[in-house]
Chains A and B, each alone.
Chain A
Amino acid sequence: MALLSKKDANLIKDPLGDNNPITIQVLGICSALAITAELKASVVMAISVLFVMGVGNVVISLIRNIIPSKIRIIVQLVVVAALVIIVDQVLKAFAYDLSKTLSVFIGLIITNCIIMGRFEAFALGNGPRRAFLDGIGNALGYGVILVIVGFFRELLGSGTLFGIKVLGDPIAKTGLYAIGYENNGFMIIPPAALIVVGIIIWVQRSRNRALIEEA
């Protein structure tokens, strides 16, 4: 990464690995549970959050010196809320079916703790370039987990990926289903996401023991 200094590159790399907002900081779990039954919804949620985080962090960072500190949380909320409404309207106009699936969660982006957390902890104290990288990095870290969880839940729960039947047809009994494989209905319901996230956390911490907290 010649384009970025090592310090800047870490802003993107850390949240993807050793400082992942979901698996290490355990933030943003609610949406990770709710919308990951399908890969498509996961990807769209990840992209929406990427947009809101990237732009939001820059906006907050640009106005960080003129925000009255007494109302800074309100200002942050207004910025997220405005961006979320824009995302919502754009989805309604260009991806209507998807916006119906995500309707509730789009609104919930506002309360996604990762976003407010990055605004407060990073954008208020850093320049727009670094804030942008930090926003993108954290949104990617969040998105990666969402996509991994969505991949396993859709594959094991419905036997599809992006709605395409990859394991054969469960009704016509072709492909894997011909030899007696069945979809696991449990994977479709939210608790399954908790288990998948748990397994990811387990894998990540056994690969890097430094991440394990002292009991």
Chain B
Amino acid sequence: MAINTEKNSYTIIFAVLMVVVVGSLLAFVASGLKPMIDENERFEKQQNILYAMGVNENEGDGDVSFIPTTDVESEFSKYITQQLVWDGSEATEKENAYLIDVQKALAAAKAGGKAELPLLIGEKDGEKFYIIPMYGKGLWDAIWGYLSVGENMEIKGVFFDHKGETPGLGSNINQRFFMDDFEGELVVRGNTYVGVEVAKGNNDPLNNDKEDYQVDALAGATITGNGISAMIKESLELYKPYLETIRTN
């Protein structure tokens, strides 16, 4: 080899070239695959939203089982009858409102600015489901989910997921033994939207009392649980004026 690979100038030129070559290769791959990745993410959102209104393939006490990606699009348009955006005072229909970036929209709304918050209305067996998105902080990273309530302000179903909660502890928020507890809980006490608190020592581990505004916490996941309580409350607060218009009890 005639090149002196030990020279500083050579090292620097090599490093620069390497970065340029590898960088453009990765950019090429990423942009080529983006449409497919976007579609997968869209399906996942649809699966999650349907899950929160009880459209899933759960069996018995088994694991969380979503509608398969092959059917999710048709099921989604079958069950989700209206897609709205809520700007704090008015709800207007908008196509594909479910694709709105919930994190940004909720942050803008909380900061008091004008925001378009997605609000989905689903219908199953003649019942209406009002589905609102949630986004918050767990112990390590983001947590999010969907909450569906009926007109009597009873939770019809929830879906939670997380980016990096502790495996075996906080990560269990996306398991059925946690999510199923929320079903049937009331979120309004008198005229206050109190939400549902993830509570330690509520003396109701089997969650038989549906009017205590509490579900049993996960052992070892206090901060994740608090994050869940907080994000439910925050979302309810933002959607409160809308929910007031449909509330029947």
Interface set of A (CB-CB < 8 Å, partner B):
65-71, 74-75, 78-79, 82, 85-86, 89-90, 92-94, 96, 104, 171, 189
The answer to whether B18 and A96 have CB atoms under 8 Å apart is no
- Determine the distance from Cα of A119 to Cα of B59 in the docked complex, in whole angstroms: 48
B22 at interface, CB cutoff 8 A: yes
* A171 contacts across to B, CB distance below 8 A: 59-62
B219 at interface, CB cutoff 8 A: no
Closest chain B CB from A107 CB (angstroms): 11
Q: Which of B5, B33, B36, B164 contacts A68 (CB 8 A)?
A: B5
The answer to whether A93 and B60 have CB atoms under 8 Å apart is no
The answer to whether A96 and B44 have CB atoms under 8 Å apart is yes
* B29 contacts across to A, CB distance below 8 A: 85-86, 89
Q: Which of A71, A89, A93, A104 contacts B11 (CB 8 A)?
A: A71
B15 at interface, CB cutoff 8 A: yes
- Determine the distance from Cα of A94 to Cα of B33 in the docked complex, in whole angstroms: 9
Closest chain A CB from B219 CB (angstroms): 16
B206 at interface, CB cutoff 8 A: no
Q: Which of B5, B6, B25, B164 contacts A82 (CB 8 A)?
A: B25
- Determine the distance from Cα of A93 to Cα of B50 in the docked complex, in whole angstroms: 22
User: Using an 8 Å CB-CB cutoff, how does the interface string of B158-201 with A read, 1 for contact, 0 for none?
Assistant: 00000010001000000000000000000000000000000000
Given that A93-B37, A94-B36 are known contacts, is A68 also in contact with B26, CB under 8 Å in the complex?
Answer: no
- Determine the distance from Cα of A212 to Cα of B246 in the docked complex, in whole angstroms: 74
Closest chain A CB from B47 CB (angstroms): 10
The answer to whether B37 and A89 have CB atoms under 8 Å apart is yes
User: Using an 8 Å CB-CB cutoff, how does the interface string of B32-52 with A read, 1 for contact, 0 for none?
Assistant: 010011001101100000000
B99 at interface, CB cutoff 8 A: no
The answer to whether A69 and B22 have CB atoms under 8 Å apart is no
Q: Which of B18, B25, B36 contacts A93 (CB 8 A)?
A: B36
- Determine the distance from Cα of A69 to Cα of B62 in the docked complex, in whole angstroms: 55
Given that A86-B29, A171-B62 are known contacts, is A70 also in contact with B37, CB under 8 Å in the complex?
Answer: no
The answer to whether A65 and B1 have CB atoms under 8 Å apart is yes
User: Using an 8 Å CB-CB cutoff, how does the interface string of B1-13 with A read, 1 for contact, 0 for none?
Assistant: 1010110001100
- Determine the distance from Cα of A67 to Cα of B22 in the docked complex, in whole angstroms: 15
- Determine the distance from Cα of A71 to Cα of B18 in the docked complex, in whole angstroms: 12
Q: A82-B26, A96-B41 are in contact. List 16 more A-B contacts (CB 8 A).
A: A68-B6, A68-B14, A70-B6, A71-B14, A71-B15, A79-B22, A85-B30, A86-B26, A89-B33, A92-B36, A92-B37, A93-B36, A93-B37, A93-B40, A94-B36, A189-B168
Closest-by-CB residue of B relative to A70 is B11
Closest chain A CB from B10 CB (angstroms): 6
User: Using an 8 Å CB-CB cutoff, how does the interface string of B56-83 with A read, 1 for contact, 0 for none?
Assistant: 0001111000000100000000000000
The answer to whether A78 and B22 have CB atoms under 8 Å apart is yes
The answer to whether A96 and B40 have CB atoms under 8 Å apart is yes
Interface residues in B58-116 (C-beta closer than 8 Å to A)? 59-62, 69
* A70 contacts across to B, CB distance below 8 A: 6, 11
The answer to whether B60 and A85 have CB atoms under 8 Å apart is no
- Determine the distance from Cα of A94 to Cα of B44 in the docked complex, in whole angstroms: 14
The answer to whether B36 and A67 have CB atoms under 8 Å apart is no
Closest-by-CB residue of A relative to B168 is A189
The answer to whether B61 and A75 have CB atoms under 8 Å apart is no
* B33 contacts across to A, CB distance below 8 A: 89-90, 92-93
* B69 contacts across to A, CB distance below 8 A: 96
* B168 contacts across to A, CB distance below 8 A: 189
* B61 contacts across to A, CB distance below 8 A: 171
Closest chain A CB from B161 CB (angstroms): 10
Closest chain B CB from A122 CB (angstroms): 20
The answer to whether B30 and A89 have CB atoms under 8 Å apart is yes
Given that A92-B40, A96-B40, A171-B60 are known contacts, is A69 also in contact with B30, CB under 8 Å in the complex?
Answer: no
10 A-B interface contacts by CB (under 8 A) = A68-B11, A69-B5, A70-B11, A71-B11, A75-B14, A78-B19, A86-B29, A94-B36, A104-B164, A171-B60
- Determine the distance from Cα of A86 to Cα of B22 in the docked complex, in whole angstroms: 11
* B59 contacts across to A, CB distance below 8 A: 171
